Amino acid sequence: MNRRLAQGIDADAAPQRVDPVVAVVALGANLGDRAATLDAAVTALRALPLVDAVVTATPVESVAVTLNGPDAAAPAYLNSVALVTTRLAPTVLLDYLHAIEARHGRERRTRWGDRTLDLDLIAYGDVSSSSERLTLPHPRAAERDFVLAPWADIAPDAEIPGRGRVTELLAVAARTARAHPVSASTDPAHTEVAPGLQEPQS
């Protein structure tokens, strides 16, 4: 095992056993072939070193959120959530997520702007972090129905540390829900990629 990948660059010299952790990764895209992009991102997650399994949720479609709030005139997002069983350190996993985004043409020019691919590290086991590089759990995940809905679909007993059960948070978020399941009638490409997105890796 590569110790630096498993423990991050600040690991000390003493040998440690690193047990797998389930990391929660939110995926989204609102430009280009959204379904194909999410499918390719899941394939890339499964190919990462020290990743043992990836389980993904059925995608949902959501209205784009900008700095001024929801914008129904902007291209809609296709969103999913992946449960990634990994021994990568959280900061190392974050670097890999940014690299996957970059391969799909992600440009960080406008905050909350349109995106070819967005990969957010939502949670990493029960780890809490407020470092300059990484805040865990994600500070806005508990209010985002397009994260909570697919997450609850594949892990109904999941909790966001310090915030509560995902299903209960979703019930609160549903009062202003913007996400809804995608069907073939609303996104033809979804029928081609959904089986791949839903298939867990053993």
Catalytic residue among 34, 87, 115, 144: 115
Indicate the burial class of 10 (C-beta count within 10 angstroms; 0-12, 13-18, 19 or more). exposed
In angstroms, rounded to a whole number, what is the distance separating the alpha carbons of residues 169 and 28? Answer: 20
Catalytic residue among 34, 39, 87, 118: 118
Q: Residue 121 forms beta bridges with which residues?
A: 25
In angstroms, rounded to a whole number, what is the distance separating the alpha carbons of residues 52 and 93? Answer: 13
126 is catalytic: no
115 is catalytic: yes
In angstroms, rounded to a whole number, what is the distance separating the alpha carbons of residues 27 and 4? Answer: 26
In angstroms, rounded to a whole number, what is the distance separating the alpha carbons of residues 160 and 158? Answer: 7
What are the residues whose beta carbons fall under 8 Å from the beta carbon of 76, sequence distance 6 or more? 30, 61, 62, 63, 64
87 is catalytic: no
118 is catalytic: yes
| Phi-psi map region of 86: left, alpha, beta (phi>0 left; psi -120 to 50 alpha) | beta
Catalytic residue among 34, 87, 106, 144: 106
Catalytic positions, please?
Answer: 106, 115, 118, 120
